[in-house]
């Protein structure tokens, strides 16, 4: 009887969590992934947080370093999805920005040169022009197809001068269904080991001034 009740409680918790999922699809909702999500978190949980950036249970497990904090004026598409979980939440963030020719060149050059500097150690995004539809810079590719999966990358559509931003914790399929671009690689396990640009993030210095090109 106790085992049966435990199963019912578990099912109830799972269904409750799933019913609380949030989705945003309008470019005017861009700030929701920052301010809006903090408000949602603080309504449902404690202690209060002032950000979901960082690593740990329920957090983004990312600093979203190349995702502007202010809404880009060049924003073309936006999609956000959040699924609360027992100890790990599911997240999906996607947006694209179409730039002028000069700004696109400057952004692409800045992205190519972007790196984290920590003492003598430098960490740059992984460049991939094989597994995606467009040249792609990978900031995180960890725990693929596992509970703590985190994927974070930036794609460059050179022909249309469009920058495509992708971040997800185990919800890439939501982005694929709600984006104009194919964001899924030809294979998921193309790296031999986990990669995260944030492994040496503490005390690192970096230049993200090229994000100004998105304005």
pLDDT at 22: 92
pLDDT at 1: 65
- Flag whether 11 is in a domain: no
DSSP state of 172: H
pTM: 0.89
d(CA 135, CA 157): 7
Please give, one letter per residue, the 3-state secondary structure of 72-107: CCCEEEEEEEEECCCCCCEEEEEEEEECCHHHHHHH
Other Cβ atoms less than 10 A from the Cβ of 205: the count is 9
- Flag whether 14 is in a domain: no
- Flag whether 3 is in a domain: no
DSSP state of 205: B
Q: Whole domain around residue 70: which residue ranges?
A: 22-214
Question: What's the structural domain count of the chain?
Answer: 1
pLDDT in tens, the chain (215 residues): 656 555 544 444 444 444 588 999 999 999 999 999 999 888 877 778 899 999 998 899 999 999 999 999 999 999 999 999 888 899 999 999 999 999 999 999 999 999 999 999 999 999 999 999 999 999 999 999 999 999 999 999 999 999 999 999 999 999 999 999 999 999 999 999 999 999 989 899 999 999 999 99
- Flag whether 15 is in a domain: no
- Flag whether 16 is in a domain: no
Other Cβ atoms less than 10 A from the Cβ of 40: the count is 16
pLDDT at 86: 85
Return the structure tokens found at 25.
Answer: 């699809």
């Amino acid at each position: 009887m106790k085992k049966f009740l435990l199963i019912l409680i578990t099912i109830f918790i799972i269904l409750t969590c799933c019913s609380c999922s949030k989705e945003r699809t309008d470019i005017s909702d861009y700030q929701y992934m920052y301010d809006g999500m903090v408000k949602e978190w603080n309504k449902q949980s404690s202690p209060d947080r002032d950000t979901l950036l960082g690593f740990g249970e329920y957090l983004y497990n990312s600093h979203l370093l190349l995702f502007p904090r202010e809404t880009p004026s060049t924003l073309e598409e936006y999609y956000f999805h959040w699924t609360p979980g027992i100890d790990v939440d599911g997240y999906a963030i996607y947006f694209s920005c179409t730039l002028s020719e000069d700004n696109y060149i400057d952004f692409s050059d800045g992205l190519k040169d972007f790196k984290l500097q920590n003492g003598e150690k430098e960490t740059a995004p992984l460049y991939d022009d094989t597994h995606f539809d467009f040249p792609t810079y990978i900031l995180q590719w960890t725990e693929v197809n596992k509970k703590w999966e985190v994927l974070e990358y930036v794609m460059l559509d050179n022909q249309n001068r469009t920058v495509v931003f992708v971040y997800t914790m185990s919800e890439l399929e939501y982005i694929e269904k709600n984006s104009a671009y194919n964001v899924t690689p030809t294979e998921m396990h193309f790296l031999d080991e986990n990669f995260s640009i944030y492994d040496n993030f503490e005390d690192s210095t970096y230049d993200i001034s090229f994000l100004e090109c998105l304005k």
